[in-house]
């Protein structure tokens, strides 16, 4: 089933971590397996890297501490070698890390170089995006990663009920649109031409972290954006290119968009006011955010909407 949610604050940053948690927790019934956030703050000169060195289920296993220690040392070493000046690095969990670096080079070789380390997966890269995801419900992940203090201008989130792939961190949403900075996607649905698109995109040089069909959307959009297409147009193309039933949200450093397939089999409810745009699979999530009766609407079939932040 899965549940998705998104927020834009038009009047400046807010407690994005808390707000998306409220929305996602109210939709726990749509997906208790994992919860994820793509949180956007004001762009910074530093590049923020969220990466993992092991799956949560591996943590606590034999020899994992030494492996994680070696992995972290290797990450720091490779950052230095590629010319990324490490500013900060820490881990809330022991297996998932947040680092900030001064780096003005191409992000693709940076991501590739880090992911060459055994067990390392880059969850997000960018000047304003941070992807946080883990197993469990929203309250669990918020507490685990101390998201209560994170302020941001916009964000998207996801609660996952695993259907097509494993219950693990690699299969949790959101997906970063490798190697495109600050682009993230959450998705509710199934893409039935997943393998066809995966082969096509792999031939174009893109890599995939998971076996999850949702990752295709992020990479697909990244390729379109890389080619110079604007977000709205790229999303409209996706409605023709993807088969199946789907509703997805995509966010960039300065925009947020929604797309709904022609069957409209996956729900989405939208609320817009002068200072807030909020969207979610169910209205109950919007109520959890605004705390009062509000006028909302369901986007139509094949509807694509984008907002500038």
Residues forming the active site: 2
Residues present in the chain in total: 309
Rounded to 5 degrees, φ, ψ at 25 are -65, -35
Helix, strand, coil percentages (3-state) for the chain, rounded to 5, are 30, 30, 40
Q: Is 264 in the site for another protein (CB under 8 A)?
A: yes
* 3-class state of residue 167 by DSSP: coil
Least distance between another protein and beta carbon 157 (Å): 18
Residue among 73, 80, 148, 263 that touches another protein (CB under 8 A): 263
Determine the Cα–Cα distance for residues 104 and 40; give it in Å rounded to an integer: 19
DSSP state of 146: T
- Judged by CB under 8 A, which stretch of 83-91, 207-215, 223-231, 286-294 contacts another protein? 286-294
Sign of CA dihedral 109, 198, 231, 174: negative
* 216 closest CA partner among 242, 253, 255, 239: 242
Q: Is 225 in the site for another protein (CB under 8 A)?
A: no
Nearer to another protein, 202 or 262 (CB): 262
Q: Which residues contact 238 (CB under 8 A, 6 or more apart)?
A: 217, 220, 221, 259
Nearer to another protein, 71 or 267 (CB): 267
**What ranges in the chain are assigned the alpha helix state H?**
16-26, 64-82, 107-115, 138-144, 194-203, 214-226, 231-241, 283-290
Least distance between another protein and beta carbon 208 (Å): 31
Residue among 18, 296, 305, 307 that touches another protein (CB under 8 A): 296
Residue among 8, 185, 212, 286 that touches another protein (CB under 8 A): 286
How many residues at the interface with another protein, by CB under 8 A?
Answer: 18
Residue among 169, 267, 289, 304 that touches another protein (CB under 8 A): 267
- Judged by CB under 8 A, which stretch of 103-111, 112-120, 248-256, 284-292 contacts another protein? 284-292
Q: Is 297 in the site for another protein (CB under 8 A)?
A: yes
Least distance between another protein and beta carbon 159 (Å): 15
Residues near another protein, by CB under 8 A: 262-265, 267, 269, 282-284, 286-287, 293, 295-298, 300-301
């Amino acid at each position: 089933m899965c549940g998705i949610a998104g927020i834009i604050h038009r009047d400046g940053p807010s407690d994005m971590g808390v707000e998306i948690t409220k929305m996602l927790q109210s939709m726990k019934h749509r997906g208790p397996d994992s919860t994820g956030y793509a949180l956007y703050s004001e762009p910074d000169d530093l590049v923020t890297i969220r990466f993992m060195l092991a799956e949560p289920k591996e943590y606590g296993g034999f020899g994992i501490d030494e492996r994680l220690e070696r992995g972290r040392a290797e990450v720091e070493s490779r950052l230095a070698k590629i010319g990324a000046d490490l500013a900060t690095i820490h881990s809330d969990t022991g297996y998932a890390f947040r680092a900030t670096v001064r780096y003005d080079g191409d992000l693709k070789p940076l991501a590739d170089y880090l992911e060459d380390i055994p067990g390392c997966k880059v969850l997000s890269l960018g000047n304003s995006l941070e992807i946080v995801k883990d197993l469990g419900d929203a309250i669990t992940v918020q507490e685990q990663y101390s998201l209560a203090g994170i302020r941001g201008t916009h964000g998207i989130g996801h609660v996952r009920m695993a259907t097509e792939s494993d219950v693990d961190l690699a299969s949790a949403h959101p997906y970063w649109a490798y190697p495109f900075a600050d682009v993230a996607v959450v998705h509710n649905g199934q893409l039935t031409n997943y393998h066809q698109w995966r082969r096509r995109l792999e031939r174009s040089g893109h890599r995939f972290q998971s076996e999850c069909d949702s990752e295709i959307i992020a990479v697909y959009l990244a390729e379109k954006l890389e080619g110079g297409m604007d977000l709205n147009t790229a999303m409209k193309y996706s409605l023709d290119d993807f088969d199946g039933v789907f509703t997805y949200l995509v966010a960039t450093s300065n925009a947020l968009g929604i797309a709904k397939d022609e069957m409209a089999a996956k729900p989405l409810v939208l609320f817009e006011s002068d200072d807030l745009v909020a969207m979610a699979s169910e209205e109950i999530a919007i109520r959890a955010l605004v705390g009062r009766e509000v006028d909302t609407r369901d986007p139509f079939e094949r509807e694509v909407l984008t907002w500038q932040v």
